[in-house]
Structure 1
Amino acid sequence: MTESALYPNRLHVVIPCRNCEAYIGDCLDSLQRQTFADWTALVADDASDDGTADAVRAYMQEDARISLRQGVQREWLMGNTLAALRSLDPAPSDVVAILDGDDWLLPECLDRIMRAHREGYDLVYTDEEIDGGGHSIAAPLIASAPVRKQSWRFSQLRSFKGYLFSQLPDETFRDRDGNYFRAAGDLALYLPMAELAGPEKVRYIPEKLYHYRVHEQCNFKVMRDEQLRNNWDIRNRPPLERQTEYFDVTEEIRGLDKSRLPFIGPEARARHPRPLTVNIRHIIPREEADAWRPYHGLWIEDGVFLSGKQE
C-alpha cells in the first residue's frame, strides 16, 4: 500500500464555547468515552462569565489530554475558533476536529474520522442527531457542482488536515467591514477548504456520530439575520483554486517524451489508488524550460498533477 506524506498521526479536537458550564461536562465525558483515545483537546473559552473554565480545569487535573485557552475579552465564534487553531499550529498531516462545547460525540466518532483520514481523505464529516428529532442536512459533496453553489451539507463532526487551514488567508474569515464573522463561521472555514482539497479528497460518513444540542442560545436562534447575511456574503465570494502545494505522493521523472503525456497520469493512478493525490515532478534541463512550460502545472488525471523543475 502507498505510504502517504499526509498520513496523520495526531488528532487535535478544538472545542469553542461560551457560557457552557451546564454542557461542557457532557462534551468532555463523550471525548473520554471515545474508542479512539489518542487525541488532545483544547477548550477555547470565549470569555465566559459563568463557571465554564472552572469546570474544564477540573477535567484537566485528571486528564492531561485536555487543555484550556481562556479569552480575556469576547472574540465571538470565528475569532475564538481561529485563535485556538492558530495556537495549535497543526502540522500539514495533523487532523483537527471542531466540537462545539454544548454538543457531544458518540463513542466511535473519532475512530471513524481518523480511519477516513488515514485512507487519504483530507476533509471528513459525519452525520448528526439533533435534539427533538430535527432533520439533519448532511449529504455527500456534489462533485460536479461548485462548492459554494451547493446546499449546505457539511454536518458535524467536521474535521480537516492542517495543510488546508494553513492555506486560508485571514480575509477568508472577515466580513465586508473587516471584522471576523460572528455567525456562519462554519461556511467561512469549510467551503474554502473543500475548494482547496478537491471533491475526491472530501469524505462524508453517513452515520449519526455527533449529537447537536438545541437550546435558546444557539446561534441560529439569537443571530439568525446576521447568519443569513454572512451566508450570502461567503457564498458569493470568488472560489479558491485547488491547491497544488501538498500531495500524498511525489514522484520524479526524467527523460519524458511528450508522446508519453497521455499515459503517465493513468499509470500513476494505477500505482496509487484514489483518494491519494500524486505530484509527478518532471525534472528537465534548463535549456528545455520554455518548451515544457505549457505542459507543466496541469492536472493530467483525477488527482494527478504534472509539475516541472529545472535541474
Structure 2
Amino acid sequence: MSQRVSIITPTFNSAQFISETILSVQNQTYPDWEMLIVDDASTDETVTIVKTFAEQDNRIRLYELDRNSGAGVARNQALEKATGRYIAFLDADDLWKPEKLEKQLAFLAQNKLPFTFSFYDCIDENGVPLQKRIKAPVRLRYRQLFFCNFIGNLTGLYDTDYFGKIPIASFRKRQDWIVWLTILKQIKTAQPVPESLAFYRIRKDSISASKGSLLKHNYRIYRDFHRKSSVVAFFCMIGFLFTQLLIKPRFIAKL
C-alpha cells in the first residue's frame, strides 16, 4: 500500500517565499511525497518560480486558477488531484524541518493513529527566529479545540484511509480549524508529536495579524459551521477569549 503524502499548498503572489517553502519539502528525509501547488491567479513571478521547480522534480505539480478565488478553492482543487494516502498542508510562506514527515508517519504507525500534528516555531517575515514555540496539549480533546485552534495548519497530517478526503470549507479564514474539528469530532482526542517540526512565518500583512479580524472569523465559525444561535455564539466567543487569554499562553514557550 502506498504511503505517499500529498502536500497541499495554495499560492497567491508568493514569489518572495515560495522557493524556500518548496526547498523545505525537497529536503524531507521521507521521500514519498507529492506537492500540489495551486496558484490563485498570482500577478508576480510565483508561477514562473514554481514551474522551474516542477520541471526539475516530478513530485511537484502546479495547477493554475483562471481567476482569484481564494485559498479554500485552491486547496480543494489540490485535494481533488491528491493521490497520496496522507494529506498535509503547507502554506506558501511556511517551512518544514527536514524530519517532519518521517517523524510524524512513524508516530502514527507506532501509536496506531489516523491523525497527528506537532509543535512549531515562529519566524518573522525575513526568516529570523522569534524565539517562540507554540505547543499544544499532549492529548487534545474536541472541547479544547472547540475554544482554541491548538493545531498549526502547517503541522497537521491525516490518513485518508480513515477519514476520506475532508473538503475545505468556503470560509475566508480558519479553514484549517474546521478540518481539525471535523477530525476530532470523530476520534475525540488527538496526540501531537511533542516537538517542533515546522516554522510558521508571521507577516505584517497577514490576516491572522489582525486580532479584530480573527474575532470576526471565529464568530462566523460558531454561527455558520457549528450552527449556533447568535446568543450561544456570543457565549462561545467568551469561552474563546478566556482560552486565548488564560490557557493558550501556557502553551507558548520562549526559546
Q: Specify the alignment match of 1:301 in structure 2.
A: none
Q: Find the aligned partners of 1:109 and 1:230 in 2 and give their Cα distance.
A: 29
The yes-or-no answer on 1:130 pairing with 2:122 is: yes
After TM superposition, the structure 1 = structure 2 runs for residues 287-298 of structure 1, keeping only pairs within 5 Å, are none
The structure number with the bigger radius of gyration is 1
After TM superposition, the structure 1 = structure 2 runs for residues 81-92 of structure 1, keeping only pairs within 5 Å, are 81-88=75-82
Distance 1:143 1:13, change over 3 A: closer
After TM superposition, the structure 1 = structure 2 runs for residues 126-275 of structure 1, keeping only pairs within 5 Å, are 126-131=118-123, 132-133=129-130, 135-140=132-137, 142=139, 146-155=143-152, 156-163=154-161, 166=164, 168=166, 173=169, 180-199=170-189, 202-221=190-209, 224-235=211-222, 237-238=225-226
Instruction: Please provide the CA RMSD for this pair.
Output: 2.5
Distance 1:142 1:72, change over 3 A: same
Q: Cα deviation per residue 1:204-253 (whole Å; 9 max; x = unaligned)?
A: 012111011122332213x65443222223246549xxxxxxxxxxxxxx
Distance 1:145 1:183, change over 3 A: closer
Q: What is the TM-score when the length of structure 1 is the normalising length? A: 0.63
- In the TM superposition, residue 166 of structure 1 has moved relative to its aligned partner by 3.5
Contact 2:11–2:91 (CA under 8 A) maintained in structure 1: yes
Aligned equivalent of 2:101, options 93, 110, 116: 110
Contact 1:40–1:65 (CA under 8 A) maintained in structure 2: yes
Q: Find the aligned partners of 1:219 and 1:56 in 2 and give their Cα distance.
A: 24
Distance 1:219 1:136, change over 3 A: farther
Q: Find the aligned partners of 1:233 and 1:212 in 2 and give their Cα distance.
A: 24
Higher RCO (C-alpha under 8 Å, 6+ residues apart): 2
- In the TM superposition, residue 16 of structure 1 has moved relative to its aligned partner by 1.7
Given residue 63 of structure 2, which amino acid in structure 1 is its aligned partner? R
Classify the secondary structure of the residue corresponding to 1:153: coil
Q: Find the aligned partners of 1:225 and 1:186 in 2 and give their Cα distance.
A: 19
Q: How many residues align?
A: 219
Contact 2:141–2:188 (CA under 8 A) maintained in structure 1: no
- In the TM superposition, residue 198 of structure 1 has moved relative to its aligned partner by 2.8
Q: Specify the alignment match of 1:121 in structure 2.
A: 113
Any stretches of 5+ residues in structure 2 without a counterpart? Answer: 124-128, 228-255
Q: Find the aligned partners of 2:141 and 2:116 in 1 and give their Cα distance.
A: 18
Q: Cα deviation per residue 1:69-112 (whole Å; 9 max; x = unaligned)?
A: 1111112122221221123265xxx1111011111111111111
Q: Cα deviation per residue 1:154-205 (whole Å; 9 max; x = unaligned)?
A: 123111112565375x6x72xxxxxx21111111221111212331xx2201
Classify the secondary structure of the residue corresponding to 1:19: coil
> % of aligned pairs identical?
22
Any stretches of 5+ residues in structure 1 without a counterpart? Answer: 1-6, 174-179, 240-311
Q: Specify the alignment match of 1:294 in structure 2.
A: none
Q: Specify the alignment match of 2:88 in structure 1.
A: 97
Q: Find the aligned partners of 2:2 and 2:16 in 1 and give their Cα distance.
A: 33
